[in-house]
Amino acid sequence: MVRDLNKILLAAFLLGFTPRAQVPMDRSPGPAKDVEPDRVFNSRYCRVGYTADREPDAKKLASYADRSLDEMSRDLAPLDPHLMDDFDCAIVQYGIPKPGLATDAQATTDSENGGRPFRISILAQSSISPTSRTLVGEPKDEDYVQKTIADELSSVVLERITRDKGPGWYFHDAPQWFVQGIEGYFGVEYSSPHSRNVTLPKYVAAVCSNPREVSFARGVQVGNPYLGGLVLVDFLYEAYGANRMNALLLSPKATFEEAFLDSAGDLSSVQKKYRTWIASQCSSPAASH
């Protein structure tokens, strides 16, 4: 009866979602049973669906999610007093790749009504091949999974903030360099010390090795929004500060482009500041590793 009840509960929160956002995951699966998640438990913020053979992964994943949400809500609640109201979070952890949901190339976040409710689909950590590597060449270990779940959660949190403010642009209407860039940046900042202190400098170093990754020839252009976008958002937080970035998120301007120029100034000044910033980053010892 308990197993049957779990299946009913899991089916209930798997239904009724439409795709919203995807983040490349570069995952290769390890051996696992080809079964659907059939167990559910509740963390402080989320319901987690999983298969019995991947229960330890699910427990860790839930703790990563709770910690990331604690930190995000602490820092972002002043922007939105209703940020954590009706926080209906479901995480579905698969033991094998599921095309379109959780594979070696992606994790997905599906939501309705501006992130109320939402569902994250992700591959279990122990199902990732030990030879798989991230965009910056790191192993897909616990730090990687922590970064990934924080990245996915930020997609919903940022959408809620931009919708709850009233008039203005919505998060997922912004260009991909900003959407994927700030999600990746939040993934780094709200996960583990390794991601903040080791992984982030590797992203910056990758852009240093390819100066054309970020350009301003025809507006803001990035080669890979998951790489150049993250580094550009890192620059924006360092150069303009969290208060200015918060003002961007809360802007009543109808489009992101209008809000961005209103918050950061004209594009030529942004370009000048970025060139100065990236030059200083590329000359640091961390950029050579």
pLDDT, tens digit, 9 for 90 and up, residues 222-263:
999 999 999 999 999 999 999 999 999 999 999 999 999 999
Residue 65 scores a pLDDT above 50: yes
pLDDT given at position 80: 92
Where does the pLDDT of residue 19 fall: very low under 50, low under 70, confident under 90, or very high at 90 and above? very low
pLDDT given at position 33: 55
Higher pLDDT, 276 or 19: 276
Percent of the chain with pLDDT over 70: 84
Q: What is the pLDDT of residues 67-102, one digit of tens each?
A: 999 999 999 989 998 888 888 899 999 999 888 888
**Average of per-residue pLDDT across 199-205:** 97
Residue 49 domain boundaries: 2-130
Q: Max CA-CA distance within the chain? A: 65
pLDDT given at position 284: 79
Residue 20 scores a pLDDT above 50: no
pLDDT given at position 5: 35
**Average of per-residue pLDDT across 193-216:** 96
Name the average pLDDT for the chain.
87
Q: Which of 172, 176, 133, 143 is nearest to 155 (CA)?
A: 172
One domain, residues 108 and 182: no
One domain, residues 75 and 189: no
Write out the two tokens for 46.
Answer: 């989320």
130, 149, 184: which is the final residue of a domain?
130
Q: Is residue 145 part of a domain?
A: no
Structural contact between residues 37 and 122, judged by C-beta atoms closer than 8 angstroms: no
Q: CA dihedral defined by 103, 104, 106, 109, rounded to 10 degrees? A: 40
Q: Is residue 46 part of a domain?
A: yes
110, 130, 150: which is the final residue of a domain?
130
pLDDT given at position 115: 60
The DSSP code sequence of 230-289 is HHHHHHHHHHHHHHHHHHHHH---SSHHHHHHHHH--HHHHHHHHHHHHHHHHTSGGGG-
pLDDT given at position 3: 40
Residue labelled with tokens 């053979």: 53
One domain, residues 88 and 22: yes
pLDDT given at position 107: 85
Q: Is residue 274 part of a domain?
A: yes
Where does the pLDDT of residue 111 fall: very low under 50, low under 70, confident under 90, or very high at 90 and above? confident
The count of domains in the chain is 2
Percent of the chain with pLDDT over 90: 70
